[in-house]
Amino acid sequence: MDSVGKPLKLADVKIIIQSKDDKGNVVEKVLREEEIMALKSSWEESDGD
Amino acid sequence: MVTKSRKPLHKLTANVGGTPMYLVPPPTPAPSGVMDLQPSTVSKTAFREKIWRIASDPERFGGVVFEDNDGNTVTPIDVKIAVCMDAMEEGSFEEALQGLSELIRDPYVVASESLKSEVAFMAATCLNRGAVSQIRRGGADSLQQAASMANQAPTIANIPQIAARSGNIIGVIHSLSTSAGTRVHAQNTFDEALTQDPNLYIASNNRATVDYQEGRLDDAHRKITSALGHRKRDPILKNNRGVIRSRIFDEIERGEESRVGVGAPTADAAFTAARKDFQNAYKFLGITPHAGWDADPRLLADDSKFTGLDASNTELFQLCRRNHIILENKRRPEDDQINVPPPLRSHVFDREDTAEIALQEGVGDEFHEDVVSAHKTEKVLFSVVDRLRGVEVFSFNPVGGATPAQGLCNGLRRLGAEYSGVADEIEDSASIVEDKRGVWSIRGGDWKRRGRIRLDEQSQCVNITVGGFEGSFGAEYTEGDHTLHFYSGSVLHANALKGLCNAAPEARTLEEGKMRNAQQIERVKGHLNTTLKEMGDDPARPRAAGSNLGFKVMGGLNRLEINALMEAGLSRGVRHGLAIRKTLELDITGCGEFFAAASLALKEELSRSTPKRPIRSPPPPRTPLTLSRPPTARPPPEPLAPPKVKPPDNPLDVSFRSRLAAIFGKGKERVQAAKAVAQWFDGDQFKKVAKDHTAVAYGLCGRMRDGTADPHIFGKFNDLVSGGEDLTGETGLTGTGIPELEQHAQALGLSKDEFKEAFFLEFAKRMEKRYPLHDDLVRVVEQGDTAVGPPYALQYVNNFGKLYAVFKNGTKVMHCPLDEQGNPTEWVVAISGDYERKRLRDYIDRRIIGHGNIHFKGVRVPPEWIQKSV
């Protein structure tokens, strides 16, 4: 439970993506700014195909 | 926009060297007086757009999740709000407004009063800040647009703080005109703004400016001093008051005291005060005046680099210095080469960050905090509702078998992936400590709650204790199609608060808000009082009653204190009501976490082991519990079957012994005493039990090992064996053992058997007549419709001539004071120990046998639950 009262700043928001490693374990990764910009939606990916 | 932080100013001020400093290199100057509505932050804008798109559909972007720096999950709505806030802070007001206008139509936002409030507040703030930036752009079109934006703001978020800021901006636009008529408009607008928000110092300052322009120096001085009361260190305000005082000094010097107003100071006093203001202004700008400071060429040089200030503050410094030099030169007429009216500065023009400061430091921020807090709390409540869907939570009193906190969280994870987030949140967002007794302490943020969760496998129930309030009551809370079973206290709590929450933000005006609050508080009070009354709220024990309503989690406030708090807070307006709501809802949040964890743990536990008995079918659908709903009346209890009282024919038969055992109850010592007495009566066993004569004596003389002698039963025995004659002193019968009893028998000329029979018959006769015993004395109150009724089993026994009630397993008694006729007046149950929960479920018939009122830890059961014994 975070303390209440202060609005969340965009700079404090982390975007995390989950993936699986070779052993099938779920791995979480915090995306950097350039990775966020490079992130594509499934629609965009299908368009690319 | 050049954002000015106060911190560098403080650092500079703290450097008391007295010389101009270069501690902070001046930032790149912003275009003078012009703020670009579309700053060249393409990458930032693109980044925000990207974040917005991801937050709009995280699944489509590979199922990303958002977290804050503390690892708390952040909802997409919160991310979007953060995006808007970011744009607004950067000065991209149109971008922010575009996002906010989209947000305000979002179904999730529409469904949430607090979210709506938050977004509307942001949009209105954004409009006001955009209006300020338009004013800075200058030009008729910009002013028109500024007026339009400022006028829109209160219609989006009709709260006093927003309206006051909008009014201030409109007033400034009016005051730009040089016509006296428009200045009157400006003056009235500032006054209205101050009516909405008396703490709005910028409006006070601007009103002072108008007064100054109109020559009302005393009014101007009062207003500017009032503004400084809210921001003591503001250099703009200091400069402005210095100017006003300079003018006062000027008028006095010219012999025009009458223009200054009533109570004009001396010229020296006015001069000193004005000089002090200017010096303070320098000081707060980070420049410490020193001897000969005004002759310092660096200060006189018109070069901002000497001051180390940014562009805006350099401008302010130069203005302040100019005004100060005018003052000093008037003091020295021989140097009176500067004689122009000193200008005042209208606050809204000079500091672009006015709105930001207001957000950070002003009242608006407090309101915003309330809104954000309510929003977060509401989200937690909703999420708890989500988690508990379809799960029935029973609250019981402490039983054995503590479930480790960690086990609960693990259990949540085993229930499925959808619950792992809950477990994570419980584990991560708060520090959970579990002591040896299985007591949880959960701490997090600015709240602290203690709780205990125990699982009773046998009864398939969960016991929850929160904030010192032991879960004794069950109730329900319906959200959509789902019914939750909560503590009554929490439900009342939640409903009362939901009512309070809903009242204020929906109000269109302050007066309407007050009216709604007044209506709401009456409903809340009525509901609370009704419930308290039903629970037998005893004025002598308000704290206990409050505790059992769940209010103890509020820090032990009693009912009167709570009512007073609510009433006092709400009578003072929306903000105070919100502040109270924040306080209260945090408690609910804490409870909600426990409920979530406990209920899911229960589910997990049940799925792990096949219950020996089928779980009871869920109760029939009930009417949702709302504020306005009167507590559901319990069905009248079934008339109790006449007790099957049957005096024993043979006191030595098995039923006698079992009955005797029932009389003594089931505590270890009591059982021992009952056995001993039974055996003592049973002639064959007499010698065998003689060795345990202490137990017999204790039993017969109504004395337990804990030293609680019962003079009543002792007296009865005395009467019995003595024929009404007090033999205590004569025989030395002190209840210490069988030898004395035998002596009594012998003294009475009775054989042992005769004594035994006489004793029993007399005993049984008196006791049965007074306190009939029968086999189906166990009555259970189930958690009930009116949110009252813990599943307690009661069996009352005429133990030693004084009415006691024991739980089915006889662990604890309840003390029962008797009236003059020897009838019990009330039963007070001491709750602890184990229950035979499965048996309780079998015996649920919603009846309690008793006399008068029954207290469960200070809560009186409604009289209709109680059937007088025959």
Which of the listed residues B354, B377, B392 is the one where a domain comes to its end? B354
Do B371 and B437 have their domain in common? yes
Interface of A with B in 5-34 (CB under 8 A): 5-18, 31, 33
Reduced to 3 states (helix: H, G, I; strand: E, B; else coil), residue B473 is coil
pLDDT of residue B125: 86
pLDDT of residue B146: 83
**Pairwise CA distance, residues B462 & B455, whole Å:** 5
**Pairwise CA distance, residues B136 & B734, whole Å:** 99
Residues of chain B below pLDDT 70: 1-42, 111-114, 177-180, 262, 288-312, 332-870
pLDDT of residue B726: 39
**Pairwise CA distance, residues B870 & B862, whole Å:** 19
Do B602 and B709 have their domain in common? no
Q: Which residues contact B442 (CB under 8 A, 6 or more apart)?
A: B426, B430, B431, B432, B433, B448, B449, B450, B451, B590, B593, B594
Do B506 and B593 have their domain in common? yes
Nearest to B856 by CA among B864, B848, B868: B848
Nearest to B472 by CA among B459, B480, B463: B463
Contact yes or no for B64 and A1 at CB 8 A: no
ipTM over 0.90: no
Which of the listed residues B539, B574, B608 is the one where a domain comes to its end? B608
Please give the interface size between A and B, counted as residue pairs whose CB atoms are below 8 Å apart: 111
Interface mutation target, options A3, A10, A35, A37, chain B, most CBs of B under 10 Å: A10
**Pairwise CA distance, residues B483 & B491, whole Å:** 12
Contact yes or no for A4 and B66 at CB 8 A: no
Contact yes or no for A13 and B79 at CB 8 A: yes
Nearest residue of A to residue B85, measured between CA atoms: A9
**Pairwise CA distance, residues B813 & B803, whole Å:** 9
Domain membership flag for residue B808? yes
Do B250 and B384 have their domain in common? no
Contact yes or no for B444 and A2 at CB 8 A: yes
Nearest to B861 by CA among B776, B777, B774, B780: B780
Domain membership flag for residue B263? yes
CB atoms within 10 A of CB B262: 6
Do B765 and B799 have their domain in common? no
Domain membership flag for residue B738? yes
**Pairwise CA distance, residues B680 & B693, whole Å:** 9
Which of the listed residues B580, B608, B636 is the one where a domain comes to its end? B608
Domain membership flag for residue B79? no
Q: Which residues of A touch B444 (CB under 8 A)?
A: 1-2
Do B501 and B393 have their domain in common? yes
pLDDT of residue B99: 92
Whole-structure pTM value: 0.41
Query: Which residues face B465 on adjacent strands?
Result: B452, B470
Do B288 and B397 have their domain in common? no
pLDDT of residue B48: 92
Do B388 and B441 have their domain in common? yes
The shortest C-alpha distance from B692 to chain A (Å) reads 59
The shortest C-alpha distance from A45 to chain B (Å) reads 10
Contact yes or no for B82 and A13 at CB 8 A: yes
Do B281 and B376 have their domain in common? no
Domain membership flag for residue B32? no
Q: What are phi and psi of A31, to 5 degrees?
A: -80, 140
Do B380 and B500 have their domain in common? yes
Domain membership flag for residue B519? yes
Domain membership flag for residue B4? no
Do B519 and B457 have their domain in common? yes
Nearest CB neighbour to B60, from listed A2, A37, A41: A41
Interface mutation target, options A1, A6, A15, A26, chain B, most CBs of B under 10 Å: A1
User: Could you tell me if B348 and B169 are in contact, meaning their C-beta atoms sit under 8 angstroms apart?
Assistant: yes
The count of structural domains within chain B is 4
Provide the residue type at A48 as one letter: G
Do B711 and B587 have their domain in common? no
pLDDT tens digits, residue range B279-330?
Answer: 888 877 777 666 555 555 555 555 444 556 666 677 777 778 778 877 877 7
Domain membership flag for residue B851? yes
pLDDT of residue B308: 62
State the residue range of the domain holding B478. Answer: 364-608
Nearest to B848 by CA among B817, B811, B805: B805
